Amino acid sequence: MKYVLDIVYSIVFLLLLPKLLFRRFTQNRYKDGWENRFGKVKKRTDKKTIWIHAVSVGEVNATRTIINSLKEAFPQYEIVLSTTTDTGFSRATQLYGKELSVFFFPMDFSFVMRRAFKRLDPAICLLMELEVWPNFTTIANESGAKVVVVNGRLSERSFPRYKLIRFATKWMFGKVTMFLSQSDEYSQRFKALGVANDKIINTGTLKYDTAELSDNIEGKDVLKKEISLDDGENLWVCGGTGPGEEEIILEVFSELRKDNATKDLRLAIVPRKPERFNDVAKLIVDAGFKLHRYSEIKGKSSLEIDKDAIILGDTMGDLRKFYALASCVFIGRSLTPMGGSDMMESTAMGKFTTFGPYTFNFKQTVEALLNGNGAVEIKDAKELFMQIDKAIQDPQYRNTIATNGQNVIKKNQGATKKTLDVISKLLETSC
């Protein structure tokens, strides 16, 4: 089977190569980590490892409480962390680069995975949310390493795709030791794909535990000076935005500026993907707005800032600081059908948070927030305008929603302990 997969992977890789090269030279993506992707990965000690894989930024952020707990509970193991995307690698390096070995996830060729497993010698592999690969699980089983899906979820969009290849999915998932699911709904989907009942435990989502229940974020005050945000000024932050949304945001902002009560509102837009920074900058200028790119003012608090200008957050790792300064937040990739972005960070900070109707990647979180009146779902530009306008003009309304959101996060915490209990039992049996 592994040789068949290698042949398939080779064909797919050759077909994708022109696209990869195009993005490499036009968007500056995929330029780093190729030695990792071919299995040349390192650990820092001669200990057996706990290998954690987190695809991108959201999954990396979700590792924080579990990594801290594992370090404390199992000092006899070395923790290593892999990621897939450039943004995920940047975030992982920012969080753990000084203490953990951080690398790009190897490609699922059998010879590549064998090389990686030989170098890392993992006792257990923790896959954040899902990201199960056939050669990875096969070689993990052969090497005696347990494989656990942590914070597991299977979205509405991906579930039908897995069902189409249920015979292959059942075989691949059968090599996974345990599925620690975020919710009963996700647990039922895993069962529908052939996972045995005794392999599934509903632990809740780790993201509630990793959410910081304060806006006292390191670097917040520095950012405040850099963008010349005065006490009492209102900042609207639109984070994780995607194609088609910035135009709507700019239209709404233009209307808000016409209202005397909101004419001094300031705006920061932070696109989800770095390769869109230049495109969004052009959109802002073409719409007739002045622009400050944060990359050009970061670290230069003495620069004169035009308060009428829109701030473009075109750096990595600073979105949380922008949220910490916000009066109102819009969560991107939700007004167009892209599945949404993480809304826990801003709600946990006690910020008035809005998002569009397309949040299928965060269904459980959205339901909890809306049921607790802790965030506002809008369907179009008109509703977005109405909600931001109301929130700025009615601080009591804004603060009530924000406080409710923060309480929802508190109420749903506790997944880290449940997850650690399962991992502990598995590691004890592997000793």
pLDDT at 19: 81
Residues in the chain: 431
Tell me which of 316 and 53 has the higher pLDDT: 53
The pLDDT-based confidence of 26 (bands split at 50, 70, 90) is confident
CA–CA distance from 317 to each of 11, 14, 397 (Å)?
Answer: 35, 33, 30
Is 405 in contact with 350 (CB distance < 8 Å)? yes
Q: Which pLDDT tens digit goes with each residue over 119-152?
A: 999 999 999 999 899 999 999 999 999 999 999 9
CA angle, residues 37, 41, 47, in degrees to nearest 5 = 150
Q: Which pLDDT tens digit goes with each residue over 392-431?
A: 999 999 999 999 999 999 999 999 999 999 999 999 887 5
CA angle, residues 79, 60, 354, in degrees to nearest 5 = 160
Per the structure block, which two tokens stand in for 399?
Answer: 């603060």
**Helices 395-411 and 363-371: angle between axes, nearest 10 degrees:** 120
Domains 32-204+415-430 and 220-411 share a fold: yes
Strand-pairing partners, residue 104, are 83
HSE-up of 161 (CA within 13 Å, CB side)? Answer: 5
Domain borders along the chain are: 32-204+415-430, 220-411
Q: Which pLDDT tens digit goes with each residue over 222-237?
A: 999 999 999 999 999 9
Query: For the chain, what is the total number of helices (H) and then of strands (E)?
Result: 21, 14
Q: What is the DSSP string of 191-221?
A: HHTT--GGGEEE---HHHHHS-S-S--TTHH
Does domain 220-411 match CATH 2.60.40.1760? Answer: no
Radius of gyration of the chain (CA): 22
Give the pLDDT mean for 96-120: 96
State which CATH number among 1.10.20.10, 3.40.50.11720, 3.40.630.30, 3.90.1170.20 fits the domain covering 32-204+415-430.
3.40.50.11720
Give the pLDDT mean for 159-176: 92
Give the pLDDT mean for 242-257: 97
350 CB neighbour count, 10 Å cutoff? 20
Tell me which of 5 and 189 has the higher pLDDT: 189
pLDDT at 301 over 80: no
CA angle, residues 418, 84, 241, in degrees to nearest 5 = 90
